[in-house]
Amino acid sequence: MEIENTTNQGLLSNKLLWLIIGAACFIIIGFLLPIPQSLIDLLEKQKIAEKLIGWHIASDATHAAWKAKLVLGMIPMAVIYFATEALPIGLVGVLMPVFAYFFKLLPMKMIGQTFAGDAPLFLLGVLAMGVTVIGVGLHKRLATWILGWTKGFVLPIVVLCVSMSVLGSLISAHAMAAFMAPVMAAVYMGAVSANSKNGVIEHDEHLAKLLLFSLCFALNVGGVGSPAAGGRNVIMMGFWSDYNVPMSFGRWMMYGFPLTPVLGLAVAGYMLFAFRGVKTKDLTPGLQAIKNETKKMGNMSYAEKVALGMILVILFLWIVGGHDLGLGGPALLALIIPVVFKITDWRKILDGISWDAWFMYCGALTLGALLKETGAALWLAQIFLTILNAIGFGEGLGLWIGMSSFSGLMTNFMSDAGTTALLGPIAVPMGIMTGVQGEPWAIGLATAFSTSFAHFLIVGTPNNAIVYGLGVYPDTGKRMISPIDFVKYGFVLWLISLAIVWVLGFMVIFNVVGFPEGITETAKTVLMSTVK
């Protein structure tokens, strides 16, 4: 049966219109608008212009500022194209390095690295892992273990969101996305099949989106829970250590972990409200169908054991490998182990990988590198911080809210680690200079927490790309969600997530847990010594 797809109707279906609008944004910003003097001054002051001149991609500060302005013009173009699919999203991803090459926005070696670095290889391995898990049927056992005891409609969604947010704070959320996206598709299929008549599947598009977005967004918000949730948290801890005020793993969890179940519940509540129009109000048949299939499978097969062993080995290497192995090295084992141990075919893995999602994410990494290296992101941050000071949000709660908002916005365009690496060196000294008790921990947590809320752009986090790539209707192979759906359902949740952190995190947990005496003074001493 043909699946209704409301996202391809109306204004969004006019691909040519959005293609022209995106190109017009790039041309107007990149070529027609004058170069802001503040951008030229910033690039000179921060020696970014000198760096670009040294790379032989700019002749002087004004030329360097024009290159940064071109990157600023690429942002609305990329957002429009990713959201509306005016071009295939994988092709939009390829456009980013193409522009970087033809306009000489980065040295050629650096452009290539954005498509072959640790992050692209990591995503490639995770997508391959998902293909293997589905192929051997291990995802059905995972569903039984996590959701098999639930019944009805609301309870499975609540358990899914809370469990994923908590798990996502302790182990790789990207791996969980790869394991669980096929599970959601299987639960969906079982539920709608139970309501179908005469063997004809009547698809429920809203239910499919409810299940996938509940999984995806719950895993996203889990990133606040502990340093193990992602590199951006470790990066922020490194900035604190530079000012002689290190934070322990357990201390981070005191501030962040209590937020995870609350954020998970918020995801569940919002998803149930946003998709209240679902026709299939009972997931029990889908969950029962998976349980029955798991029982029929009997004891774990050789293929399942190898797949589970592969998962555990990769997770172990992610945890203990640290900087020596990165994330990409262990993830690539997902391409090797299944073939070497003969549990799947090499061609099947290649055919199953969502190359569209992979090219899209690599293009987003290129855009993030362009924003950082040309100084465009730093200029945007400077403007935002100037506005904060002008409206009296220059310290304490106001500064935390402002920085978390900007960090949360930027993480939808750049990687979470890239956002933290960019804003951390700006935010930490700002917090120290205010003299507010608890700095620079407070502003650092505010900046890092919100990088977990990359909800409204498909390129914001690998979780989004993985769920998009693996979330397909089992009977037709068509995608369950589209890029514009992230904007439609993710933006409001982004605001909700920030509000919870502001109220529960900044106003309650910060006050209840408190901050050690003397950290602000110690950090300020280090800061002033570096200034001298």
Same domain (yes/no): 190, 290: yes
List the alpha helices (DSSP H) in 117-204. 118-136, 138-147, 154-168, 173-195
Q: List the one residue out of 438, 35, 219 whose CA is nearest residue 43.
A: 35
| Residue 95 located in a structural domain | no
More confident residue, 357 or 279: 279
Of residues 388 and 451, more confidently modeled: 451
Per 3-state DSSP, what percentage of the chain is helix, strand, and coil (rounded to 5)?
A: 75, 0, 25
Q: Is residue 365 included in any domain, yes or no?
A: no
Residue entry with tokens 């990409």: 328
Yes or no: say if 519 and 438 are a contact pair by the CB < 8 Å rule: yes
Rg of the chain's alpha carbons, rounded to an integer?
23
Residues 140 and 80 in one domain: no
What long-range pairs does 272-277 form, CB within 8 A, spacing at least 24?
Answer: 272/154, 272/157, 272/210, 274/210, 274/489, 274/492, 275/206, 275/207, 275/209, 275/210, 277/206
Residue 162: give the domain boundaries. Answer: 120-230+247-314+324-355+462-475
- 384-398 pLDDT tens trace: 878 888 887 888 999
In this structure, the answer to whether residues 140 and 66 fall within a common structural domain is: no
Query: Do residue 79 and residue 138 come from a single domain?
Result: no
What is the average pLDDT across 77-106?
A: 89
Two structure tokens written together for 351: 């055919």
- Given pLDDT bands bounded at 50, 70 and 90, which one contains residue 10? low
d(CA 26, CA 168): 37
Q: What is the mean pLDDT of the chain?
A: 88
Burial class (CB in 10 A: 0-12, 13-18, 19+), 376: buried
pLDDT at residue number 444: 94
Q: Assess whether pLDDT exceeds 70 at residue 151.
A: yes
The verdict on 32 and 78 lying in the same domain is yes
Q: Are residues 337 and 188 in the same domain?
A: yes
**How many domains does one find in the chain?**
2
Terminal CA-CA length for the chain? 72
Q: Are residues 163 and 60 in the same domain?
A: no
Range among 94-103, 324-333, 356-365 rated most confident: 94-103
User: Domain for residue 225, yes or no?
Assistant: yes
Q: What are the two backbone dihedrals, phi and then psi, of residue 479, each rounded to the nearest 5 degrees?
A: -70, 140
- Residues in Cβ contact with 432 at an 8 Å cutoff, skipping those fewer than 6 apart: 243, 439, 440, 520, 523, 524, 527
Ordered alpha helix ranges (H), 298-345: 302-325, 328-331, 333-340
- State how far the alpha carbon of 239 is from the alpha carbons of 179, 234, 355, 435, in Å: 33, 9, 36, 17
Is 339 inside a domain boundary? yes
Q: Are residues 137 and 52 in the same domain?
A: no
Whether 491 maps to a domain, the answer reads no
Residues 172 and 286 in one domain: yes
Q: Are residues 285 and 190 in the same domain?
A: yes
Cα distance between residue 151 and residue 496, in whole Å: 27
DSSP 304: H
Beta bridge partners of 479: 472
Asked if 67 and 172 sit in the same domain, the reply is no
Amino acid identity at 25: C
Q: What is the pLDDT of residues 402-414, one digit of tens each?
A: 999 999 998 988 7
Judge whether 205 lies within some domain: yes
Q: Name the domain boundary from 42, 71, 87.
A: 87
Q: What is the pLDDT of residue 8?
A: 46
Q: 278: left (phi > 0), else alpha (psi -120 to 50), else beta?
A: beta
What tens digit of pLDDT does each residue of 479-511 get? 999 999 999 999 999 999 999 999 999 999 999
Neighbours of 31 (CB within 10 A): 11
Read off the tokens for 319. 């945890």
Element (H, E) at 49: helix 48-54
Q: Is residue 240 part of a domain?
A: no
Among 220-234, 342-356, 497-511, the minimum mean pLDDT is found in: 220-234
- Residue 295's pLDDT band (cuts 50, 70, 90): confident
* Whole-Å CA distances, 123 to 5, 323, 467: 28, 17, 12
Q: What is the mean pLDDT of residues 253-277?
A: 96
Percent share of the chain, pLDDT over 90: 47
- In the predicted structure, residue 157 carries a pLDDT above the cut 70: yes
The answer to whether residues 165 and 279 belong to one domain is yes
Is residue 6's pLDDT more than 60? Answer: no
CA–CA gap between residue 49 and residue 64 (Å, rounded): 6
How far CA 276 is from CA of 270, 453, 473, in Å, comes to 10, 23, 21
451 within a domain of the structure (yes/no): no
Q: Are 121 and 389 in contact (CB under 8 A)?
A: no
Task: Give me the pLDDT at residue 310, please.
Answer: 92
Exposed/middle/buried for residue 320 (C-beta within 10 Å: 0-12, 13-18, 19+): exposed
Alpha helices (H) in 173-243, listed in sequence order: 173-195, 205-221, 231-242
pLDDT given for residue 80 in this prediction: 87
